[in-house]
Amino acid sequence: MPSMIDQHLSAKIVEARENLGLSISDVAGAIGLSAVALTEIESGKVRISAFSIAQLSRALNVSPRWFYFGLPGQDAFDQVV
């Protein structure tokens, strides 16, 4: 079962991709993943790496930090970063 953080990150990836009107194939191709791999990340079946977060942030035109906004404990995260 995906952790709360994995679920949050997955939802943020879907949100950013859909806000831009991009398909899974569009984004996967832009970051060098297969559509199946990105689908597994978006569904929370596969944990996303920090490297993939960086790639997705560029492809989706958002800051890597954006993926973590709204996460419970955000105040503690902001103090560390």
Q: Which CATH superfamily is domain 4-74 in?
A: lambda repressor-like DNA-binding domains (1.10.260.40)
pLDDT tens-digit readout, 6-45: 899 999 999 999 999 999 999 999 999 999 999 999 999 9
Give one word for 28, left, alpha or beta, with left for phi > 0 and alpha for psi -120 to 50: alpha
DSSP structure string for the chain: ---HHHHHHHHHHHHHHHHTT--HHHHHHHHT--HHHHHHHHTTSSPPPHHHHHHHHHHTT--GGGGGTT-TTHHHHHHH-
CA 59/CA 30 separation, integer angstroms: 6
% of residues, the chain, pLDDT over 70: 88
Instruction: Please state the domain extents for the chain.
Output: 4-74
